[in-house]
Amino acid sequence: MTTQNLPVETTEATEATQQLVTQIPSYGLIWFAYIALTLLMVGIIWYGVRKWHFIIKWFFASVIFAGALTPAHPAEGISTFSPLVLNAMVDLFDGNKASFMADLKTITLIWAIIFVLGIIAWFIFKKLKTNKTTTPEMDTKAVMATPVEPKIED
């Protein structure tokens, strides 16, 4: 879609948003800080519920990761990214239900992929850990000393 087909208000808003975002000198640093703070938040929550089962903890962590760390373009014609969950909320409040549902489907798909990969990694790690800690059964007859019967000469 070109800017010639858009209403004047939309074109001006898109250009104003693009100018605002491209004028941010530390766009990459802001994303780095955002990702670091998201990881910190998940770490704090993980520590708070550390006694819970891994699958429950991973469910909450993967929901946060999928919602907060899935990037998307905030509008057509804008080359920068923002978190998809924020775009979805803007679409919801603007009354754009079709776009909101598309964003929600994308977040759900990303969440399912993250959740399943995490569970698979957990099972593999658990399997490797149990294989490393278990020792094979030893032949007790070969290891045990044979008793010596006392003789009269002794």
Strands (DSSP E) found in 25-153: 71-72, 82-83
Determine the structural domain holding residue 113 and report its residue range.
22-123
The predicted pLDDT at position 47 comes to: 94
Tokens of 58: 């991973």
Q: CA-to-CA distance for 121 and 55, rounded, in angstroms?
A: 11
The predicted pLDDT at position 23 comes to: 63
The predicted pLDDT at position 24 comes to: 67
In a domain, 64, yes or no: yes
Q: CA-to-CA distance for 63 and 25, rounded, in angstroms?
A: 31
User: Mean pLDDT in runs of 10 for the chain (154 residues)?
Assistant: 52 64 73 93 93 92 92 78 86 87 92 95 90 64 67 73
- Which among 130, 128, 118 is positioned nearest to 55, based on CA atoms? 118
In a domain, 99, yes or no: yes
In a domain, 73, yes or no: yes
